[in-house]
Amino acid sequence: MTDKKTYFFLGIGGIGMSALARYCFLKGLQVGGYDATASEITEDLASLGIFVSHTDGTEGIPSSFLDPEHVQLVYTPAVPEKSVLFSYFKTKGFRMQKRAAMLGGITRDSFSFAVGGTHGKTTTSSILAHLLDHAGVGITAFLGGISNNFNSNLLLKDTAISVIEADEFDRSFLQLSPNVACITGTDADHLDIYENKAALEAAFVDFSQRLKPDGTLFVHESVGLDIPGIRYGLSQTQPIGLKIFTTRMLRP
C-alpha cells in the first residue's frame, strides 16, 4: 500500500482486482475503477458505493480519480496497453502498480498462507480460509472465487494473518512472501505467458523459494518437481494422506 487515499483499478471486475478494491474500500479509501464488461461482481462493487465505469475513456469519471498527485493506479496484465485509460494514466504520470505487487505489499508483513497451483488453488484456499475462520482464527483472505461461506472473494478481519490464492498468471505469485505455501498441481496452463511447461514449472520452483525463513511448503504428490517440502495426496506412501473420507451436509 502507499500513502495515497484514492485508488483506481483498471480491470476492477476481475476476481483478484475486485478483492483488492473491496479491501481498499473497507479500509476507508476512495475507490473507483474500469472494466470493459458489466458483471455481477461490478454490480456488487457499485452497490457498495464504489465508482465503476464501463467506458474506456475518461468521460464520466469523477475528477477526484484523475489527479496524479493523489491517485494510485492499480492494473492487471489483462488490460491491454492500447487501452485508452491505460495510456491516459501512463502519459499523465500517475503512480502505477500491478495487482500482484499491491497484494504482495499488503500481505508481506502478515503471517500468510499462499496456495498456488494450476488447478485446485481456489478450492483449497477457500477451504483453508473457512476452517481457520470457523476455528475462530481471525484472518484476511484474498480468494480467486466467490465463496459461498463468505458470499465474497474477500474476508477482512483486523488481524496479521492472511490466506492468499497465489496466481501463477504473469508470474504474479512471485510477489508473495508466505510463511506457509502449498502447490496443488503444475499441469500445463497459461502457455500464452509461459513458453512451455518447463518454463511454468520453473516459475513454481521460484515460488517455492519465496518462503520466509523457517517457512513450510506442502506439495501435492502429482507435482513431479524436485522441491523440498511435505508431500500430500491420496497415496498412503505420502507423509500426509487421506484414509477415510465422508461427505455430509455439503451444498453446491
Q: How far apart are CA 204 and CA 130, in angstroms?
A: 25
0.85 cut: is pTM over it? yes
Rounded to the nearest 5°, which phi and psi values hold at 18? -65, -35
C-beta of residue 137 within 8 angstroms of C-beta of residue 161 = yes
* Domains of the chain with CATH codes: 6-102 (3.40.50.720), 108-241 (3.40.1190.10)
Q: Kindly report which listed range (1-10, 54-63, 96-105, 110-119) carries the lowest average pLDDT score.
A: 1-10
Instruction: Tell me the three cell numbers of residue 238.
Output: 505420502
Per-residue pLDDT reduced to its tens digit, 44-100: 999 999 999 999 999 999 999 999 999 999 999 889 989 999 999 999 999 999 999
Per-residue pLDDT reduced to its tens digit, 117-143: 999 999 999 999 999 999 999 999 999
